[in-house]
Structure 1
Amino acid sequence: MRILHTSDWHIGRTFHGNSTMDALADVFGALTAQVQEHSVDVVIVAGDVFDSATPAGPAYTLLGDTLAALHDTGARVIVTSGNHDSAARLGFQARLLRDGIHVVTDPLSIGEPITVDDADGPVHFYGIPYLEPAIVRQHWEGVALRTQAQTMAHAMGLVRAGMASHDGRSVAIAHCFAAGVDATVGLEREVRQGGLDVVPLEVFDGPDYVALGHIHGRQNISERVRYAGAPLHYSFGEQHKERGSWLVDLDASGLANVEWLALPVPRRLVTLTGTLDEILAAANVAAHADDWVCAVYTDALPQAEPMRRLKERLPHCAMVQHAPTLTAESEERSYAARLKSAVTDTERIEAFLEHVRAGQGPSERESELIREVLDERVVAEALV
């Protein structure tokens, strides 16, 4: 059996205020073509189908069109809910969907497999919707469910119980943060700090393959436990990470092969660093006019209307950051040390300007203005 593992579609998410709907539609078209080309039997979407619990109408339209296109290839489709999804909204029409499209959002269905047969016998797919401990503990009285680790351990116990009563190969689908994830691959923005939400790897023992969602970069936690990541770049921090899906082959004895299928990137993401004039240089404009651009300009002083100036030359500039280059002197001497050594008000003001302007003190004209203001203050105090 051939399975395509994808996740974290986040239909409806914007990219720095820009819609991603058209880009996602293009990527989903490419994904559907891969399903057709590689004769995929089952497509898995491991959570975060939508970006919001209340998606707008066009998000439903894109999802419906994509599921229908995938179904038309002859593949079965299994979708589970993620932390961004409203289980009720995602799953409300599950019973009305055409045969071969399955949406798993009910915690009480864990342990009840979706079974797909091939020449080697049945393969049982166990979908685990996103489980928020405080919400789902009502379903299992007497079970300690205070953390994601405890909740996922209980869910996988239900999966293994289902496996014990259903002979054949098995695949589990979940949306969580598993121990062993490389934090540099693009973590989901709501992943919490600390260890409460980390699920130990041994929790996933049992199935032949575990398809995970929740982080936005591909990751193989083990040979049989993997993340596919998001199909589109949703932040500049993800710009160097490939987008795609895992193509998983099961033979009669279980997991046989896993291959990465890259997806096209509709618009590249680049970060340009330098002075504002350097970023606006003709070479950068020619090379990156069609890219999403994050501009990090290093001028000592903030520049006037940098976004407007950048978008005139780089129409897809989405983000601007001011990161002045520190001088050796400003790095060696802290603001507190400079302020402590200052004797006069003029020196205190100069120390403050050096601190907020990466070591650049007042210009000659600014020094004149400072002296004028301080002289006026002295005169005013003398007249009181």
Structure 2
Amino acid sequence: MQPLSSKKGMILTTSEHFFLSFTDTLRYIFLHYKIGVEDKILVPAFYCPDTLRFLSQVATVVLYQINRDFSINKASYFEQVAKFRPRVIINYSFSGLSLTSEELVRCKALGADSTVIIEDCAHRIIIPEDLPELGPNHFYVTSIRKHSPLQGSHLIGNLPPADHLSTRFNWYKLRCYLLHLIQGGLSLAAYLGRSPWLYERSSDVFLHHDQLIGSFSRPTRGSRFSFELYKFINLRKVRQHQKEMAEMYNRQLKTIKSPLLKVLADEVVKAGEWIYYPLFVEPKIQVNLITYLEEKNIFADMLWETPTFQDAQIDHGFYQSFIILPVHWLIKKEDVILICQEIAFFLSSQNRLHDANKI
């Protein structure tokens, strides 16, 4: 369920540059530029573990730091660009904020002429008319399943189509779409019926789908149906709604006085683009809080598990420092208020339990 535009929206890219998943798009770019194990890829030290694992199989991964408000640590970033002059740079921030145009110019000046810059927009909604003009070797890559009921990934940038580098149909693609349809149906039924059992089955299928998608060795195109239908979604309305829900979470949760919780500064939330709302929670209560909210039919989870990728710069503590709460189109203001009330109730019950143990 998404708000629709009265007319077809602008095109992000051509159907030849629409792939099944974010990883399929990366595979296509790497094949085009012949990226290999001797090349260096610069990525954030806070990043999707599955993508980190994939990248480490393709090339040599080096890392730049992310600040505790999810922004790119510019000092670390430019130091690593100058030091390694990587073949590929992936810009990513969970808050949706990347480099300014001036910082991109500096990045290109420090890197090699052939450096490929990829803007990871898996957790962002890209509005066609807001896109800047992209220079050579500079691309945006999306993942529409993160914010819509559709599945696919746009490769945005000046790259000539090369049919021989990708495939249009295979068993992997069919399985992904079948699992996606089943998960979407179960999720909708769970929402309408308020059924914990259906919600659990939907989560099971989602995890199975998540393990499968992006796993095929050859870049696979997305479906033309998803490509065309996505144009009719009112993306600006969805993005604004998610921003408003994130800001409301922040206002509501700031009223809960507890050393076990921490929220981002208002200006950080207001400036960002949020696919989920991040709530910093002391690790000792995280599992119990997530379990409590799930029992109330409220989605809450860790964004990612701590990666197995071995590097001293990986900030394992940051991965474990927060949980995510929903901001999608079906979440309304009343839902945010209810979720925050449940969190407050959980914390008060924890305090009563702590006081009782003292006696």
**TM-score, normalisation: structure 1:** 0.27
**TM-score, normalisation: structure 2:** 0.28
Structure with more of its chain in strand, by fraction: 1
Larger radius of gyration: 1
Structure of greater relative contact order (alpha carbons < 8 Å, 6+ residues apart): 2
Structure with more of its chain in helix, by fraction: 2
